[in-house]
Each structure stands twice: as C-alpha cells, then as structure tokens.
C-alpha cells in the first residue's frame, strides 16, 4: 500500500507511545540519524481528531508539508502520543493514508507515568495548583469506573484508563506485527545509546553512528518559581514562534530552567503509591504475558518483579 499523497512524502516511521513515556527524547535521538528525517514539528497530531476532536482530518497535503525538507533519507519520522489510545480507528486511518509504516511504542512504569502527568498538568495550569495527588487520583478513578471514552473534556483525568497498556497496545501489535516495536522508558533512561542502537538495528540502518549522538533529556517536568514567567514561556512555546529550532530553543530552555525552576517539594505519598500499584498490577501482568507471547524478553523490573516500595522518581 502506498501513501495517498504520493510516494516518499508522508512518514513511514511513527512513534505512538503515550505521553510522558519518553517520546520526545526518543524523537530527538532518532532525528540525529543520517537515515532519518524528522518532521519539522514533533507532535503533528494529524490523526488525533479521530479521538480528540470532530473526527475530520485536515488536507493530507498539509500533513506532507511537514516533511518537505526531507531528501533521500530512508525514514521520515513523526511522533504523536495522542495516537496510542486511538485503537483501530486511528490504525485504520494510518494504514489508509500512510500505508505500512514502522510503529514505535514507548511505555513507562504506570505509577511513575501518572505522577509525571499529574505534575505536568499542574505546571501547565491544566488542573488547579491546589489539587492534591489524592484528589487527582480520585477524579481519575471516577472516569475509569464509569468507563468514560477519551474526550477533550476528560483527557486530563483519563490517566488511569490510559494506563491499561495491554488493551491499548494489542491493536497496534496485531495490525503491524513485526513492523511494530515496544521500547521501554526505563531502558532509554538507563542506556539511551544502547536503546537507540537497538532501534536502529531493527530499522535496518547504521548502528555505529549512534554513539556520536547527543542524549539530552527532553520534555522535563519541573516546578517553577514564577507563575507569570512560566505562563509567558508557555505562550511563547504555543505560539510557534520558535518552532522546532533546537539550536535556539535548547539554550533558551537551559536559561529558563536555571532562572525559573524550583525544588520539587511535593512527593507521592507511600500509601497512594502502593494503592496505585495494586490498581495497575492486573494490567501489568496482562501486558507482560502479551509481550512474552510475542517474543519479548528482558522486560523491565515493573513487568518482571513485584512492585518495590521505593520512592517514585520525579
């Protein structure tokens, strides 16, 4: 199957891992490969309206325009976390419009991911600063108990529902088979070069050049000293003035973190952590079984061992 916009103008490598699971960092790592041309914007969200909007997709020519600078690189890459929970509807649209791309799914230990999402929502002022993690989890539990579908109105509290990895992952693995690969956040944090080399090997492109890449951490969630300065930074980022100009944004981001980041005072209470582990345990077991049946080995500790009572990473 070929793309409807013509050969070579749409992505053939798509990252669909859920948010806060390392998609931004991996997008940057792979974009440094000479055989990979990344989209000019990381999250194109072209197919997102299927589950996050009115269902209508924009002109495919607009989608293709984000790869206009690509040359003869073997892969054209985009990464949109919104796709992961879209199931067969988004999968069908991708196969109809793009063809048969390679799919990368990043996954992260669900308690750590929920904590990171909660902090990010507060930093971005999506939820009130006064909302505690207990309040947030309670609201997420209400959404999950009602089996509410993902909508624009409830997406901030759909985290528990979205952490049912096995159910959301299975359609991607069924549809794309060996052209889909699961990558774990923990592996990227521990050995980013090794994890990236493994992906390059799977893609059939040079692995040796990976050692020369920069492996900086992207999309960090940090507390801020000044809410006004943070709102100004968010507005500048959302305006698109800087686009994806990493040479400009990188130094500015570093300066911003130095000026406006504050110590992270809030911590995940141990009782909440253990309760969440209990909530996720059945889904984690299902995911581990699913992956083993598909030939995955060397799974991360959260899929191989009982949960540790240790502290959650910020």
**Domains along the sequence of the chain with CATH:** 13-109+164-217+281-304 (3.40.50.300)
Torsion-angle region of 17 (φ positive above 0: left; ψ -120 to 50: alpha; else: beta): beta
Give me Rg for the CA atoms of the chain.
19
d(CA 148, CA 154): 8
Q: Encode 234-261: b = buried (16+ Cβ within 10 Å), e = exposed.
A: eeeeeeeeeebeeeeeeeebeebeeebe
The DSSP line for the chain is ---TT-TTSS-SEEE-PPTTSSHHHHHHHHHTSTTEEE-SSS---TTTHHHHSSS----HHHHHHTTTT--S-SEEEEE-GGGGGGHHHHHHHHHHHT-S-EEEEEE--HHHHHHHHHHHHHHTTSS-TT--HHHHHHHHHHHHHTTPPP-TTTGGG-HHHHT-HHHHHHHHHHHHGGGEEEEEHHHHHH-HHHHHHHHHHHHTS-SGGGGGS-----S---EES-HHHHHHHHHHHHHTSSTT-HHHHHHHHHHHHHHHEE-------HHHHHHHHHHHHHHHHHHHHHHHHTT--S--HHHHSPPP-SPPP-
- Contact of 168 with 162, CB cutoff 8 Å: yes
Q: What is the pLDDT along the chain (314 residues), one digit of tens a residue?
A: 444 544 468 999 999 999 999 999 999 999 999 999 999 999 999 999 998 788 899 999 999 999 999 999 999 999 999 999 999 999 999 999 999 999 999 999 999 999 999 999 999 999 999 999 999 999 999 999 998 888 878 889 999 988 889 999 999 999 999 999 999 999 999 999 999 999 999 999 999 999 999 998 776 554 445 555 534 543 444 344 545 555 545 555 445 445 555 566 789 999 999 999 999 999 999 999 999 999 999 999 999 865 555 444 44
- pTM, two decimals, is 0.82
Q: What is the dihedral of CA 45, 48, 53, 57, to 10 degrees?
A: 80
In terms of DSSP bridges, do strands 261-262 and 223-224 run parallel, antiparallel, or are they unpaired? antiparallel
């Amino acid at each position: 199957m070929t793309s409807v916009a013509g050969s070579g103008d749409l992505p053939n490598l798509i990252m669909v891992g859920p948010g806060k699971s390392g998609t931004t960092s991996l997008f940057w790592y792979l974009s440094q490969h000479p055989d990979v041309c990344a989209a000019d914007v990381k999250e194109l969200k072209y197919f997102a309206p299927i589950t996050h909007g009115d269902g209508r997709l924009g002109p495919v020519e607009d989608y293709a325009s984000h790869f206009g600078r690509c040359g003869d690189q073997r892969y054209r890459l985009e990464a949109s976390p919104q796709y992961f929970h879209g199931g067969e509807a988004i999968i069908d649209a991708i196969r109809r419009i793009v063809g048969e791309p390679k799919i990368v799914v990043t996954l992260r230990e669900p308690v750590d991911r929920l904590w990171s999402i909660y902090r990010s929502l507060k930093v971005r002022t999506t939820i009130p600063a006064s909302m505690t993690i207990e309040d947030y989890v309670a609201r997420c539990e209400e959404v999950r108990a009602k089996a509410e579908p993902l909508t624009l109105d409830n997406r901030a509290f759909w985290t528990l529902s979205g952490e049912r990895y096995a159910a959301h992952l299975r359609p991607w693995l069924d549809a794309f088979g060996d052209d889909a690969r699961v990558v774990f956040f923990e592996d990227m944090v521990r050995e980013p070069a090794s994890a990236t080399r493994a992906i390059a090997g799977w893609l059939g492109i040079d692995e040796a050049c990976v050692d020369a890449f920069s492996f900086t951490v992207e999309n960090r969630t940090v507390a801020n000293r000044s809410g006004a300065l943070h709102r100004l930074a968010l507005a500048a980022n959302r305006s698109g003035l800087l686009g994806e100009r990493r040479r400009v944004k990188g130094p500015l981001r570093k300066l911003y973190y130095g000026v406006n980041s504050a110590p992270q005072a809030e911590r995940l209470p141990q009782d909440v952590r253990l309760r969440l582990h209990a909530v996720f345990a059945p889904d984690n077991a299902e995911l581990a079984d699913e992956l083993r049946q598909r030939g995955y080995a060397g799974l991360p500790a959260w899929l191989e061992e009982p949960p540790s009572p240790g502290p959650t990473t910020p």
